[in-house]
Structure 1
Amino acid sequence: MDLNHENATSKLSSTKASARKTVWDSSTHMIFDELCLEEVKNGIRPASHFNKVGWTNLANNLKTRTGKDYTKLQLKNHWDSMKRDWKLYDRLMRIESGLGWDPVKKTINSTSEMEIPNYGKYVNSDSEDENNDSNEEDWLDDEKRFLLLCGLVVKGVMVVHNMMNIPRIPCRTSCRTGNIFIQEILNGHPRRCFEDFRVHVDVYKSLCSDLRMHYNLKETRNVSIEEFVGIFLLILAHGCGNRLAQEIFNHSGETIHRHFHHVLRAVLKLSGDIIMPKANYNNEVPPQLLNNSRYYPMFKDCIGAIDGTHVKASVREHEQAKYIGRKGYATQNIMAACDFNMCFTFAWAGWEGTAHDTRIFLEALRKPEVKFPRPTGDKYYVVDAGYPNTRGYLAPYKGNDVRYHIPDFRRGQTAAQRAPKGLKETFNYYHSSLRNVIERTFGVWKARWAILKDMHVNYSYETQVDIVIASMAIHNYIRMKGHFDEAFNKAQQEIYRPTRDVENDTSIRINGTQEDITTRRRQDDLYMSL
């Protein structure tokens, strides 16, 4: 009984010892590698692992050299770990085309054109799967190759080990944490919140609450949702990079990156609910028209304006040609529609800068999956001369002798020179004034978010497209939730208004009322289509 108990105790002790996590320091690494080489040179070469004699010799010699006891399982696990490290090291240092070790910088170099060939061709194996354990013997058949492998393992494991065990020194050690910074902003002077995040405190808090309750944005143990949103809005508002955000919020670059994208995904969900027209947009007259004698009843059936705009983009060098349009640098083209409250009701981002507005417009009409809000009945959008004048989309008259843009009507020295001449120019004058709402909406949107002026190269193109949509969603959110916003108020004051001498000059109303002008333009369109 005593003998059996002793054997059971010995087995249990061995099992517990092997179950413990073994710590291998650098000197033990080197000794183990040297002992492995000695066993191979002595002819005790393994197939996939050492044989029983080999493991026993390794354990005894390692204890003699280090004074530490290791079980066969611990030695085998470490051997397997070394093989995995070697594969990584060998792939980075020799196999991957375009990669290599820089002895000066002590870093892995890579070129812009990285190829990933099959691993098997570099170890002279017929196997198509480098991870197939059944081919381990083929991998070890050549004595010289195996000795070379063991020698390189010593170097490779030490490189990887040293790279992975560099002491981490805290970088952001300020006593003012990101949460303290946010609380200072939210509880301080109201002006600070608008200057830092381009939104007022009430809108900021409302946005945080809605993202938490409706769009699955969850705080972490160390970072609150208010801080998440602050990181996101600061980057959008000022176009700052990750490093500046690290300094302000006292977080690592990885934390800034991760939380920025958490909020980005949540705001993209919000965009699906907020970038859309009102449910009854085809059944009512917008109050901005109904209460304005300049546009009612002439444009009583208008539901909004459509136009395209460009945002600077960062794309790969070999793809830049299709993104560089008339602006001379890479851009993405965005088609958008807005209502007369300066809210986006539709947005389609991500088109190449060379794509024509008409092409994007026709694709939006053709593809139901983009969910373009079509006008019904007699309703229509106002569009500029670059779009087709068809039912539901009212464009201005074209011609070299027909003025359209408001500045063209302001260049004359006298009232008579500035006044529209004839039916077509009269229509164009009011049409341009009304369609200006989309220009002012773009202006407010771009002025608020500095990141739209120059996307950072560290954002993928897909992320740049997402940022455009997310910034439009917050634009709408501010308009709907904010009772007072400087940017929107300024844009409303800049609205183009016909001058008094034009409004009072009855000569511009040729052959009828203002409503007749719009009706005739739409009849012209019908006639031309026939």
Structure 2
Amino acid sequence: MVVDGVTKNTWLQNELRQVGVEYTKEQLRHKWDWMKDQWKMWKALKGNETGLGWDPIKGTVVAPDEWWNEKIKTTTYTVDIICSYYLSYIHKEPCMDSFHTGLVWLQEIMRGNERRCVNLFRMDKDTLIKLCLDLECHYKLKCSKKMTILEKVGMFLYVLALGASNRQVQERFQHSGETVSRNFHEVLKAMLCLSIDMIKPTDPTFSNIPPEILNDDRYMPHFKDSIGAIDGTHVSACVQEENLIRFIGRKGVPTQNIMAACSFDMQFTFVMAGWEGTAHDGRLFQYSINKQNLNFPKPPLEFGRQDGRYYEQCLLIHFMYKNIVVVSMALHNYIRRKALADPAFERLDKSPNFVPPDIFRDVDDIQAEESSQESGALQMNALRDQIACSLMLANNDY
């Protein structure tokens, strides 16, 4: 800006010098910018409202009390938002600041007794390391700046094996809820890729007779052409209210109906997950035959012989999505193939007739049992009354 051939700053300097005030050009520039910002703030505060004036005696704006009260409320609300943002994101109090972080805890587990790792993650330390390496090398699971592959996989297995909630994982691994959720889904994505390689027959041509058939006189040669066992089960599901009825079947609680096939060495070879609990097993079987062009003969063994370390524990996790079930079965197969020794599989190998209990009992069975208990109670009451009458009669005889 030029005034009578001189710049704005020079003109202001000359005018102020006449009243005994000396400012440099830099000071004038800062003062000008400050006044411009103040004017913008005042325009925003004033808006399009009229009726405001200036009191030259008091040196203040003249406005009704209602106008000032409204502006004070607006300003207070804005200040509260700014303070909340500052405390939450700029000067926030640390939450997950324990020295015993998830990585430190995992390192302690890996150096400790083998049983601790099996209890917490349902697999031994060597198998856990193999799983981490496979997910990293073959299934594109990557570490981050603040989290190793071991911690990501450990967090994922901690949820599946123990049914831990997001908040429990936050406290155990010292990470935020958003970090826990994001990393869980990263590992889940990699595990689904692993499932494609894990849930399938180890002998795709079925050229060999399974040793469990070949070495058992009860089944050989009658079932020498059998390739596996097929059956269904129910897994707990948490669904929206409008879909609740479709998922409540004969178990009396919302579940998803799972159909799966397994080989005779207790490995899953096929899984159909995610159907509503009211879906009939025959419907799932017919769908899988049409979809996969598979033909499974009737098996001589019960499907219930599978090891349930993850498969049963996933009942504790309220996920409707079939991915959790599929990944649990893949982990089951992975341990069966990779672990040199496993307590759960050893128990089942030594007890071939062992069948785990049904976690979800049929509503009809429960009602029949309750009816039987009521009938038993009536019989006991009648017997007690009969004994009491006999005692009274005997006493009268005396």
Q: Which has the larger radius of gyration?
A: 2
Equivalent-residue separation in structure 1 for 2:80 and 2:41 (angstroms): 14
Q: 1:276 aligns with which of 184, 195, 200?
A: 200
**What is the aligned partner in structure 2 of residue 483 from structure 1?**
340
Query: What letter corresponds to residue 206 of structure 1 in structure 2?
Result: K
**Alignment-derived partner of residue 45 in structure 2:** 37
Q: Aligned pair in 2 of structure 1 residues 209, 154: CA closer, same or farther (>3 Å)?
A: same
What's the offset of the Cα at 1:242?
1.4
Pair 1:472 & 2:329 matched: yes
- Once the two structures are superposed, the pairs formed by residues 487-526 of structure 1 within 5 Å of their partners are 487-496=344-353
CA distance in 1, matches of 2:353, 2:311: 24
Q: Aligned residue for 2:167?
A: 243
2:216 to 289, 292, 300: 292
- The CA deviation string for residues 355-400 of structure 1, in whole angstroms up to 9 with x for no partner, is 0000011111122xxxx3724xxxxx3xxxxxxxxxxx33xxxxxx
Aligned residue in 2 for 1:324: 248
SS at match of 1:243: helix
Partner of 1:229: 153
**How far apart are 1:159 and its partner, in Å?**
5.3
Q: Which residue of 288, 299, 317 corresponds with 1:455?
A: 317
- 1:469 and 1:248 map into 2 onto residues whose CA distance is 26
The answer to whether the 8 Å contact 2:235/2:256 transfers is yes
Please say if 1:266 is aligned against 2:190: yes
Please name the residue that 1:161 is paired with: 82
Residues 40 and 180 of structure 1, relative CA distance in 2, 3 Å threshold: same
- Residue aligning to 2:275: 351
Amino acid at match of 1:440: R
Match of 2:235? 311
1:364 & 1:251 partners in 2: Cα distance? Answer: 41
- Paired residues of 2:288 and 2:294 also in contact (CA < 8 A): no
Matching residue of 2:97: 173
Q: Distance in 2 between matches of 1:328 and 1:40?
A: 64
Q: Does the Cα contact within 8 Å between 2:117 and 2:125 map onto a contact in 1?
A: yes
Superposed displacement of residue 284, structure 1: 2.2
Letter in 1 for 2:324: I
Distance 1:217 1:373, change over 3 A: farther
TM-score (structure 1 length as normaliser): 0.54
CA shift in 2, pair 1:473/1:165, >3 Å: same
Alpha carbons of 1:158 and 1:203: their partners in 2 closer, same or farther (altered >3 Å)?
A: same
Alpha carbon RMSD of aligned pairs, Å? 3.8
Aligned mates of 2:115, 2:201 — CA distance in 1: 31
Residues 419-462 of structure 1: CA deviation (Å, up to 9, x unaligned): xxxxxxxxxxxx6xx322x2111xx22x4455422323xx5x33
- Return the match for 2:264 from 303, 327, 340: 340
Shift of 1:33: 5.5
Question: Is the Cα–Cα contact under 8 Å of residues 324 and 331 in structure 1 kept in the other structure?
Answer: yes
Counterpart Cα distance in 2 of 1:451 and 1:326: 21
| Partners of 2:274 and 2:183 in 1: CA distance | 23
Q: How does 1:359-370 map to 2 (within 5 A)?
A: 359-367=283-291
8 Å contact kept, 2:310–2:329 = no
Contact 1:289 1:296 in 2 (8 A): yes
Structure 2 residue identity aligned to 1:453: L
CA distance in 2 between partners of 1:184 and 1:373 (Å): 48
Deviation (angstroms), 1:297: 0.9
Counterparts of 2:258 and 2:338, CA distance in 1? 25
Contact map agreement 1:320 1:330 (CA 8 A) in 2? yes
Per the alignment, in what secondary structure is the counterpart of residue 362 of structure 1?
helix
**Equivalents in 1 of 2:156, 2:350: separation in Å?**
30
Matched residues in 2 for 1:338 and 1:219: separation? 34
Q: Does 1:374 align with 2:286?
A: no
Could you give the per-residue CA deviations for residues 288-339 of structure 1, whole angstroms, max 9, x where no partner exists?
2122222111100000011111011111122110000011100011110100
Residues 127-172 of structure 1, C-alpha deviations (whole Å, 9 max, x = no match)? xxxxxxxxxxxxxxxxxxxxxx999975765454344332421112
Please list every run of 5 or more consecutive structure 1 residues that lacks an aligned counterpart in the other structure: 19-27, 44-148, 376-380, 382-392, 395-430, 498-530
Counterparts of 1:343 and 1:494 in 2: how far apart (Å)?
Answer: 16
Conserved 8 A contact 1:307-1:335: yes
How far 1:219 moved relative to its partner? 0.5
**SS of corresponding position for 2:140:** coil
Identity %: 41
Count of residues in correspondence between the two structures? 318
| Aligned ranges 1:121-200 → 2 under 5 Å | 157-158=78-79, 160-166=81-87, 167-200=91-124
Give unpaired runs (5+ residues) of structure 2.
1-5, 10-24, 52-69, 355-398
TM-score, normalising length from structure 2? 0.70
SS of match in other structure, 1:295: coil
Output the CA distance in 1 between the equivalents of 2:142 and 2:71.
Answer: 48
Code of the residue aligned with 1:278 in structure 2: it is T
Distance 1:161 1:304, change over 3 A: same
Distance 1:163 1:466, change over 3 A: farther
Q: Give 1:84-99 correspondences, 5 Å limit.
A: none
Q: 1:168 to 1:366 in 2, by over 3 A?
A: same
